[in-house]
A and B are shown apart, each in its own frame.
Chain A
Amino acid sequence: MVALILALLPSPAWAFEPTPPDPELVDEPEVEVAPDTCSEGPFPGADWEPHPAAESLDADAVAALEAYLFPADLDWDDADRVGTRTDGVVIIYQGMLLYERYDHGYDRDTKHLAWSATKSFTNVLAGVAVRDGLLKVDDSICDHLEGLPEASCAVTVAHLLSFGSGFDWLETYEGYSPRASSVLAMLYGEGHTDMARFVASHPRRDEPGATYMYSSGDTNVVAAVLGQVMPATYGERYPWSALLDPIGMQATWERDAAGTFVGSSYLYATPRHLARFGQLLLHDGCWEGERLLPEGWVAWSAEVTEGIRTKALDRGPGEVQGRHFWLNRPVPEAGQTERPWPEVPEDLFAARGHWKQSINVFPSHDLVVVRTGDDRDGAFSYDRFLSLALAVAEGGEP
């Protein structure tokens, strides 16, 4: 549906080679069209208001969700750390707090590491910069960063946002030779003092824009570009002044030794505060009637990119990316014939991180679901979790 909206609108002036909509993907009128004007909300003020239905939720739906997310027989002291290990879950329905629960010593005031869900925040900061005219998505990274190898100057911000830089990168954490991991070298090894420069110094594997390969490195080059264009307007702490303060979100966002925010990995916030970010996206980048993101930015970010369609490298099962968001869209050209989470609506898009952090936005259902976790065994099912959460929300219809 997002693709349909895009197809009907003129291309946004800031857009870079907008991808033509795939007819196979646009003619399933399964979900309602998200509002494309700035909504009045409700939005949370100092904190979320409780949803009127919060006291009368469908008990069976809640029990099923909790049985999956908070299994009664889970042993937090298990040395192998197997099982679904949920630290927190928050469901925001119709702009109000419908359900929340915490475990593992967390409570509503404990910040949790978002890991790669941070990447979607970097996308949104780039959107603010574009709105303000501080950045264009087809700017070369060399327009903003000095002293990079000449070969990297063909890379644009749009290439980075679609994980299409073409830098020769290996994104792996546990389970592979750690010394071969580009992401470990960036965060904890030779790259940690200036992550963007480390990334942009990699040899080229492919032409920029020709391929898709998920890379934390690409995100941190975007972060370094933002570090050049944002401070003149927003100060050194631009993530707060440009984005987090306007949506009332408290967060920690760590930097590298060069002062670049680690856009790939290091944002910390409580689930309630992470849900504010989801609510911003649910309302197409608007907050309390004010547009923080350019019109069409969220749709552009949540569309299947050309790289995913035609040449995705090392694509994991169900891995369908937009521009720094996870999508629930089939990509038949890439062999993804079913949507990644078949039990939930196709318009769902999400920020996701290691150990199963996620901020899930359901535009057709006026719903945001946040989950923080410590899952280490790879068995967690987003499809199951999200369908159970959706059932709780639908049972909460007043």
Chain B
Amino acid sequence: MELIYYRLLSEGSIYLIAVFSFLIAGLFYLSSIGKRRFKVPANLFFLLAFLMVSIYILKAWFVTGQPPFKTMFQSLVFLVWNISLIYFVLEKTENLYFLGGFVSLFNLFILIFSMVFTDIVKINLPPALQSVWFIPHVVLYFAGYSFLFIGFLMSGLYLLFPERRYLGEAHWSGQLWKDYDIFSYRAIVYGFMFLTLGLSIGAIWAKGAWGSFWSWDPKENWALITWFVYLTYLHMRYVRNWKGKRAAILSIIGFAVVVMTYIGVNYLPSAQSALHAYQ
């Protein structure tokens, strides 16, 4: 706790405003479920937090002259930015206000959890990462992870509150995506698309940088396993018409594999000298 406290202090006002704004937005969103009473302040605080995270990323980019995706801390902040952006778009287009509380609190958790990792101000990009493919590859993967997180969140809500699964329609006049289950599936379709695009671009980049499309690096392998799991999810859905509980469980397993790919794999002994290791 002490470590997190001092790390938070070391990050400066922009980061702190983002943390507190997510907290306040989360509380407003949660207390608004079914009432819409605090919708405007919740949106304003969420937007403020998103702006602060955007400024934080741009500032880090400007100071170092390099995209801030190299350390685990930097990548977690970028993940928060992605999830926030996707949620904000979904809220505006699909009336998904009820997700706001969970998304805000998850973002808050990530921003605090990221404090566990050392913040190295400047990591020089090695020659292999100085490529036009670097930014699209990372952005596509993080967009994919963010959609898969939304899918996981909806599946979790579906399992936790089965009797309130039509919350969107009942309380918020949801226009299109009414059911947690359907929404989860749609988020996963998008997430899978981004994963596939990221995987394809990564392979083409690897060919140019290292001379082979695939190096059987632990991170690559787990990215492939993640892709396999979501491929299975989609096939079960299309071919076997898996819906509801079974689909939700598979979605949660899929996200657990995403966490393994993103964070867990860094702790494998085989990943210490891996090409994709975070610093």
A interacts with B: no
| Interface residues in chain B, defined as those with a beta carbon under 8 Å from any beta carbon in chain A | none
| Interface residues in chain A, defined as those with a beta carbon under 8 Å from any beta carbon in chain B | none
